[in-house]
């Protein structure tokens, strides 16, 4: 069976032609409100070798030097990655974001004794927020993530598990759906600190046409470059918290993803 391939190409340097110069940054910011002042592009997205967009992360809340210069603790690091679709003319539009949920990651990791990051996925084509989170399957098991996506057409929840390969030179995964425990996607990646690439091969034709599923996988794949740093920070954060030396304060954007939609404010006493 043929597969549909999406690729994330991580640039060897963030100083890339897509973002060189203050003027270019201003142009990109004018095209999308999601392209913030602190956005640092680090790669591009392609479908069957045809480039269709770029990805970046928010430096001010992730890079340690940026946090220190702003007077913030390095324990306040939070990964926020955004993807932008790009037209032939070079104009961008927001395609989706994946944001680390620090509070939930810390609580889940404390409960198991293993660093287990949790991410929220926000898309411009979906009213719902989807989650992908690392799960604990025992000391001798490979990395595993759980993903759930609500299918509006069928009114059902599609559940997937993302399982790391036992022997791999990169961050390679196989993805199975809960229906018949069938393998539907493979990740083949070679990721280094100074570059790399991740190929996403979707084997099911229906999933290759599922826009929400595709965006979710591409955004998850874009975090693989940062996973080691995230897990180290979670471990160090828990160590400081257990010593009574640290309290975590979520930023307002993370709190926004946690808000209760049924809570109504009122001025009536």
> For residue 268, what pLDDT band results from cuts at 50, 70 and 90?
very low
pLDDT average, residue stretch 13-35: 72
* pLDDT tens for each residue of 221-232: 999 889 999 999
Q: Can you tell me the distance from the alpha carbon of 252 to that of 269, in angstroms, rounded to the nearest whole number? A: 26
Q: Are strands 182-192 and 144-151 parallel, antiparallel or unpaired?
A: unpaired
| HSE-CB of 114 using CA atoms within 13 angstroms | 14
Answer whether 164's CB lies under 8 Å from 142's CB.
yes
| HSE-CB of 84 using CA atoms within 13 angstroms | 25
What pLDDT, on a 0 to 100 scale, did the predictor assign at position 194? 62
Name the percent of the chain lying above pLDDT 90.
Answer: 56
User: Helix 102-112 vs helix 227-242: angle between axes, to the nearest 10 degrees?
Assistant: 70
Cα-based distances in Å from 198 to 28, 40, 53, 153, 212:
25, 19, 15, 30, 19
Higher pLDDT, residue 47 or 152: 47
Q: Is the pLDDT of residue 135 over 60?
A: yes
Share of the chain residues as helix, strand and coil, in percent rounded to the nearest 5: 30, 35, 35
* pLDDT tens for each residue of 80-130: 999 999 998 888 999 999 999 999 999 999 999 999 999 999 998 888 899
Helix (H), strand (E) at residue 37: none
Rounded to 5 degrees, φ, ψ at 222 are -70, -15
**Neighbour tally for 2: CB within 10 Å:** 8
> For residue 251, what pLDDT band results from cuts at 50, 70 and 90?
confident
DSSP, res 60: G
Cα-based distances in Å from 36 to 21, 30, 255:
15, 10, 19
Whole-number average pLDDT of the chain: 87
**Paired strand residues for 161:** 146, 176
What pLDDT, on a 0 to 100 scale, did the predictor assign at position 8? 93
Q: Is the pLDDT of residue 267 over 80?
A: no
Answer whether 8's CB lies under 8 Å from 222's CB.
yes
DSSP, res 142: P
Q: Is the pLDDT of residue 186 over 90?
A: yes
């Amino acid at each position: 069976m043929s597969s549909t391939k999406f690729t994330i190409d991580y640039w060897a340097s963030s100083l890339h032609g897509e973002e060189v110069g203050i003027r270019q940054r201003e142009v990109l910011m004018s095209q999308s409100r999601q392209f913030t002042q602190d956005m640092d592009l680090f790669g591009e997205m392609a479908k069957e070798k045809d480039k269709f967009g770029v990805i970046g992360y928010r430096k001010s809340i992730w890079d340690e030097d940026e946090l220190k210069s702003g007077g913030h603790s390095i324990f306040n690091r939070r990964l926020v990655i955004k993807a932008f679709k790009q037209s032939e003319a070079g104009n961008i539009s927001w395609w989706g974001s994946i944001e680390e949920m620090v509070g939930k990651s810390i609580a889940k990791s404390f409960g198991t004794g293993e660093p287990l990051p949790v991410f929220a996925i926000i898309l411009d084509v979906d009213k719902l927020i989807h989650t992908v989170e690392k799960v604990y399957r025992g000391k001798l098991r490979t990395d595993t993530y759980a993903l759930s996506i609500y299918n509006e057409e069928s009114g059902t929840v599609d559940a997937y598990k993302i399982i790391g390969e036992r022997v791999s030179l990169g961050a390679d995964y196989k993805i199975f759906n809960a229906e018949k425990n069938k393998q539907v996607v493979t990740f083949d990646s070679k990721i280094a600190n100074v570059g790399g690439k991740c190929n996403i091969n979707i084997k099911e034709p229906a999933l290759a046409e599922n826009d929400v599923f595709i965006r979710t996988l591409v955004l998850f794949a874009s975090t693989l470059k940062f996973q080691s740093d995230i897990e180290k920070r979670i471990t160090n954060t828990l160590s400081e918290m257990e010593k009574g030396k640290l309290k975590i304060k979520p930023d307002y954007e993370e709190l926004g993803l946690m808000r209760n939609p049924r809570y109504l404010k009122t001025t009536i006493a």
